[in-house]
């Protein structure tokens, strides 16, 4: 039996309409739990060469992100029979209650999974622990050569921060990170491109800097140099040319975020310039998608998007019908 929905709440504080039918189960010394997942693309394990782990945005609408990933694959020259699409769903506590899900379903505060903070229950596991487990699982596939962690908006925040603190991922198959239109980034020092005149005590705190790290990040900060690890990671930034609304309803407008720029496009440009100044031989890739606003659909079903997801040798070869149910926030 589901609980009633309060439609007056913000969009991201309304229980999700659809929960993934499949479950990915995680067991660690800290405890165990399950995450709903949506799956698409290849079905024969022995033939899977690439796994794209697509991360949903703040609305937790993993079903919409699967549809977008499927349309990107349909539009690309990539081999569908060797590409698996996986969309884990980081549910809120209200989602579990509303859908009366099993007690072992991992659930977070509304947006804490974006920063890699620990779940509220059934045990204190991070969204980054989930990504570790997914990578470890798929790295065992016999033909695998490529794992992609991709996200748009809130999901891009997860992909970006995991690329910084997920040091364990470098020990398995090639892992690439695709970061599309996040609201904010992690800076490695106190400099900011748009310093504010107002007091901003948390500007260097996680998830904007490296102070006051959450549990998962603290553990890995002692294991490797986070900035050096990130600089040598395979990272692609995708920015929408029209994602420049300083009043966008899903934009982080806190003091710490505003110090990075007035809108997502400015913040992405400034962050890439910041990294280049610190690492002149930076191997990261950067693309602005013409005509694209804050839309995961527009970002990933583009030439730059399909190449970022499926490889540099892949091209956008056909158009696919756009759908209002595709990824947005």
- Averaged pLDDT for residues 237-243: 98
Largest CA distance in the chain: 57
Residue 54 C-alpha from the chain's centroid: 7
Half-sphere exposure of 208 (CA within 13 A, CB side): 22
Question: What is the reported pLDDT for 4?
Answer: 56
| pLDDT over 90 at 158, yes or no | yes
- Averaged pLDDT for residues 50-66: 97
Residue 49 C-alpha from the chain's centroid: 21
Tell me the pLDDT band of 3, cut-offs 50, 70 and 90. Answer: low
List Cβ neighbours of 43 (8 Å cut-off, separation of 6 or more).
Answer: none
Whole-number Å distance between alpha carbons of 287 and 272: 11
If you search the block for the tokens 């622990």, which residue do you land on? Answer: 129
DSSP state of 259: T
CB neighbourhood size of 251 (10 A): 21
pLDDT digits (tens, 9 = 90+) for 17-44: 999 999 999 999 999 999 999 999 999 9
Tell me the pLDDT band of 53, cut-offs 50, 70 and 90. Answer: very high
Cβ atoms 289, 295 nearer than 8 A: no
Question: What is the reported pLDDT for 7?
Answer: 57
Whole-number Å distance between alpha carbons of 5 and 2: 9
| pLDDT over 60 at 324, yes or no | no
End-to-end CA distance of the chain: 28
Burial, 54: exposed, middle or buried (Cβ in 10 Å; 0-12, 13-18, 19+)?
Answer: buried
- Give the architecture-level CATH label for domain 23-87+126-310: 3-Layer(aba) Sandwich (3.40)
Question: What is the reported pLDDT for 10?
Answer: 84
- Averaged pLDDT for residues 229-242: 97
pLDDT digits (tens, 9 = 90+) for 283-305: 999 999 999 999 999 999 999 99
Tell me the pLDDT band of 6, cut-offs 50, 70 and 90. Answer: low
Cβ atoms 177, 235 nearer than 8 A: yes
Tell me the pLDDT band of 325, cut-offs 50, 70 and 90. Answer: low
Phi, psi of 258, deg, nearest 5:
-65, -25
pTM beyond 0.85, yes or no: yes
Tell me the pLDDT band of 319, cut-offs 50, 70 and 90. Answer: confident
Whole-number Å distance between alpha carbons of 185 and 173: 25
Tell me the pLDDT band of 320, cut-offs 50, 70 and 90. Answer: confident
Q: For residues 68 and 329, which has the higher predicted lDDT (pLDDT)? A: 68
**Which sign does the torsion angle of CA 15, 202, 218, 160 carry?**
positive
List Cβ neighbours of 314 (8 Å cut-off, separation of 6 or more).
Answer: 76, 77, 78, 306, 307
Domain boundaries, the chain: 23-87+126-310
Residue 74 three-state SS: helix
Q: Across the chain, what does the average pLDDT equal?
A: 93
Q: How far is CA 32 from CA 20, 123, 129, 322, in A?
A: 18, 7, 11, 38
Q: For residues 295 and 169, which has the higher predicted lDDT (pLDDT)? A: 295
pLDDT digits (tens, 9 = 90+) for 172-213: 668 999 999 999 999 999 999 998 877 898 999 999 999 999
Question: What is the reported pLDDT for 14?
Answer: 95
Question: What is the reported pLDDT for 298?
Answer: 96
């Amino acid at each position: 039996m589901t609980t009633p929905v309060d439609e007056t709440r913000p969009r991201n504080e309304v229980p999700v309409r659809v929960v993934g039918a499949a479950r990915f189960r995680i067991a660690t010394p800290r405890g165990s739990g399950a995450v709903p997942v949506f799956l698409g693309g290849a079905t024969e394990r022995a033939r899977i060469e690439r796994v794209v782990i697509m991360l949903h945005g703040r609305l937790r609408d993993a079903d919409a992100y699967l549809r977008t990933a499927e349309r990107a694959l349909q539009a690309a020259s990539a081999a569908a029979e060797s590409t698996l699409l996986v969309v884990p769903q980081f549910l809120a506590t209200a989602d579990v209650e509303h859908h009366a899900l099993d007690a072992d379903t991992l659930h977070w505060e509304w947006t804490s999974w974006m920063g890699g903070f620990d779940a509220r229950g059934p045990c204190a596991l991070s969204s980054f622990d989930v990504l570790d487990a997914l990578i470890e699982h798929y790295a065992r596939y016999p033909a695998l050569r490529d794992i992609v962690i991709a996200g748009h908006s809130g999901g891009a925040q997860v992909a970006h921060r995991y690329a910084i603190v997920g040091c364990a991922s470098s020990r398995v198959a090639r892992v690439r990170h695709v970061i599309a239109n996040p609201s904010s980034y992690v800076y490695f020092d106190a400099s900011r491109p748009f310093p504010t005149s107002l007091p901003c005590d948390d500007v260097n705190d996680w998830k904007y800097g490296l102070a006051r790290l959450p549990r998962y990040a603290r553990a890995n900060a002692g294991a490797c140099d986070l900035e050096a690890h990130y600089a040598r990671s395979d990272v692609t930034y995708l920015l929408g040319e029209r994602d420049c609304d300083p009043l966008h309803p899903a934009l982080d407008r806190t003091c710490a975020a505003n110090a990075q720029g007035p809108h997502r496009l400015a913040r992405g440009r400034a962050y890439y310039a910041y990294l280049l100044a610190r690492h002149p031989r930076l191997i990261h890739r950067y693309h602005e998608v013409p005509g694209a606003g804050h839309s995961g659909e527009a970002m990933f079903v583009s030439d730059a998007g399909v190449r970022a997801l499926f490889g540099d040798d892949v091209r956008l070869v056909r158009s696919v019908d756009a759908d209002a149910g595709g990824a947005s926030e």
